[in-house]
Amino acid sequence: MAKYIRKVFKKKKSKKRTEDIPVASEVSDDYEELHLYEVEEESRYDHVEFNQNAASVKPEEDQPTESSIDLNYLLVAAIDLGTAASGYAFSFRNDFKANPLKISTHIWTAATTVLRSAKTPTCILFNPEGNFEAFGYEAQNKFSSLITDEENVEEWYYFDNFKMSLYECKDLTFHTEIKATNGKPLPAITVFSESIKYLKNHLTNRCLNMTCGLKDEDILWTLTVPAIWNDKAKLFMRRAAEMAGIPRSQLLLALEPEAGAIFCKHIPVEVRRFDEKDEVEGFQNGSRYMVIDAGGGTVDITIHEVVDEQNIREIYAANGGPWGGNNINKAFIDFLNELFGVETFEEFQRKCVDDCIDIIREFENKKQTMKIDDSNAVIRVPIGLTELFKMHNKDTYTDVSSAYQIIRKI
């Protein structure tokens, strides 16, 4: 029914699994121990094969059965909570049967630019009481307006690029906290679950507007995770999704590059002749292909072989590293600090949040549109930044261009 990866597990001998305790916003110490126990149990399973009719990084008893996927679900909805940007996609069962590539997404639009994308920035805003306020472009705009209106912005919680905290945390638990841009902490499980809930509700509302009579139990949810994440991070995401309102029995986890590998299997790539007619088809049996998923935080790599129409075989275990596009963004920010001066640019980030967001959006747009043979990229410098530069450097440089020429010589 949908392009999902199902890992078939060989179960090793182990003690009986402890029953799951319902997830609550307040996690007890006993539940924390259960969480860590499940992580230990997770490592007792080894996958051997993939099938496009399901997806999992959990033992089979924790996943919807293959028959339920084929018969019961009218819609498959996938959420990608990315490091730099997030989005969702969905496919109705009848549409998939007619054309596996008929997948719907949402186009997000930035309020202050003409930027349109299938993803929205992964940033989230909580009010001073720690309650959810906004996500994505809405969070950026709301946070900017708080500063512009001189509200008590230091009491709010604004998070961006927080996904990699799960990878970087060596002792991840439900009590783990992550810090907002102003240094104030919130539980990581709250930040992740509210982000997933926003995308889930946005997707559900859109589908309800398209289809009359669609019920919650008609939807199979898939949440993608990076290949390099350990079992603790994967289980953390599962719990966050459950706290967001996705029932465990309707939730699948899929490794991002493996989901991409299944999708690529359906893409027309070869011209073949049938009955004196040329037709473009997907990979044939025996074809091997590599998928490189270059995201904001990680780059994940998989290599697969097409076994038959329904199955692919993993040639090499999914792997990768924290080499995503955010490293390029960081280098750009470092360049701006060097060009304008750390003091100038930090003041610009504090006082001109709208302009700071716009310059990063423009840089993102340049990254997506530049070609290999392009030698230059022109990015507009906000007037607020140039004015701050002149104020801080009136006795050193005549203008920004002169500072740039000195940096180039160095």
314 and 347, same domain (yes or no): no
Per residue in 100-137, pLDDT (tens digit) is: 888 999 999 876 656 678 899 999 999 999 999 999 99
Per residue in 333-392, pLDDT (tens digit) is: 999 988 888 888 888 887 787 788 888 888 887 887 888 888 788 888 888 888 888 888
Residue 29 domain boundaries: 9-321
- pLDDT in the model for residue 114: 63
Per residue in 329-343, pLDDT (tens digit) is: 889 999 998 888 888
Share of the chain above pLDDT 70, in %: 74
Per residue in 74-100, pLDDT (tens digit) is: 899 999 999 889 999 999 988 888 888
Number of domains in the chain: 2
Per residue in 23-53, pLDDT (tens digit) is: 333 333 333 333 333 443 343 333 323 344 4
240 and 334, same domain (yes or no): no
Residue 23 DSSP one-character state:
P
Hey, what's the torsion of the CAs at 168, 256, 4, 107, to 10 degrees? 110
The answer to whether residue 3 scores a pLDDT higher than 80 is: no
111 and 149, same domain (yes or no): yes
Whether 1 is covered by a domain: the verdict is no
What CATH code is carried by the domain that includes residue 284?
3.30.420.40
Greater pLDDT, 149 or 12: 149
The answer to whether residue 399 scores a pLDDT higher than 60 is: no
346 and 283, same domain (yes or no): no
Q: How far apart (Å, rounded) are the C-alpha atoms in residues 56 and 54?
A: 7
Choosing from 292, 321, 350, the residue where a domain stops is 321
Q: How far apart (Å, rounded) are the C-alpha atoms in residues 139 and 19?
A: 38
Query: Which region among 75-79, 144-148, 186-190 has the lowest average model confidence (pLDDT)?
Result: 144-148
pLDDT-derived band at 215, boundaries 50, 70, 90? confident
pLDDT-derived band at 71, boundaries 50, 70, 90? low
Report the chain's C-alpha Rg in angstroms.
Answer: 24
Question: In the Cβ-directed half-sphere of 363, how many Cα atoms lie within 13 Å?
Answer: 20
- pLDDT in the model for residue 357: 81
Whether 32 is covered by a domain: the verdict is yes
Q: Name residue 349's amino acid.
A: Q
76 and 188, same domain (yes or no): yes
- pLDDT in the model for residue 97: 84
The answer to whether residue 268 scores a pLDDT higher than 70 is: yes
220 and 94, same domain (yes or no): yes
260 and 315, same domain (yes or no): yes
Whether 2 is covered by a domain: the verdict is no
Give the mean pLDDT of the chain.
Answer: 77
127 and 146, same domain (yes or no): yes
Greater pLDDT, 379 or 393: 379
Q: What is the mean pLDDT of residues 188-202?
A: 96
- pLDDT in the model for residue 12: 33
297 and 344, same domain (yes or no): no
Residue 187 DSSP one-character state:
E
What CA–CA distances, in Å, run from 51 to 3, 163, 204, 279?
A: 9, 28, 27, 25
292 and 364, same domain (yes or no): no
- pLDDT in the model for residue 208: 85
Q: DSSP alpha helices (H): ranges in 211-300?
A: 231-243, 256-266
pLDDT-derived band at 397, boundaries 50, 70, 90? low
194 and 211, same domain (yes or no): yes
Q: How far apart (Å, rounded) are the C-alpha atoms in residues 353 and 153?
A: 12
Whether 27 is covered by a domain: the verdict is yes
